[in-house]
Amino acid sequence: QVQLAESGGGLVQAGGSLRVSCVASGRTFNTYAVGWFRQAPGKEREFVAGISGSYKSTDYADSVKGRFTISINNAGKLVYLQMNSLKPEDTAVYYCAAQRALYTIGRTANEYNYWGQGTQVTVSS
């Protein structure tokens, strides 16, 4: 069982930056692909960014490419999502998710076995 917890959400003005973090309780993310998803009110959960279990590959949704960066710390225990040039349409609950995968990065929610509780990100105009 992998327990995930997000932190770092909050309120920021459009054009600002925010970093959210995801920690796996009691373990590293070694061999687990990690994805960040978001869900706005009335909308489906959507893929934002992911990093492979080998830590060598990343993937981004077109809507955030060039603005968001996913990374993992040296100890392999924290996955970050750095969000720059934030827009009001980035407002959502952000979730991290994990699945046992070394080289692939899933883009759909049902590919992931483990989920955090989410952290709210609100971007004001």
CA nearest neighbour of 87 among 38, 50, 45, 21: 38
Least reliable range by pLDDT among 52-56, 68-72, 87-91, 108-112: 52-56
Q: Which pLDDT does position 125 carry in this prediction?
A: 94
| Pairing outcome for strands 92-100 and 10-13 | unpaired
Say how far apart CA 15 and CA 85 lie, in whole Å.
4
**What mean pLDDT is reported for the chain?**
96
Residues 6+ apart with CB under 8 A from 73: 79, 80
81-94 mean pLDDT: 98
Question: Over the stretch 23-70, which tens digit does the pLDDT of each residue have?
Answer: 999 889 999 999 999 999 999 999 999 999 888 899 999 999 999 999
Task: State whether residue 89 is helix, strand or coil.
Answer: helix
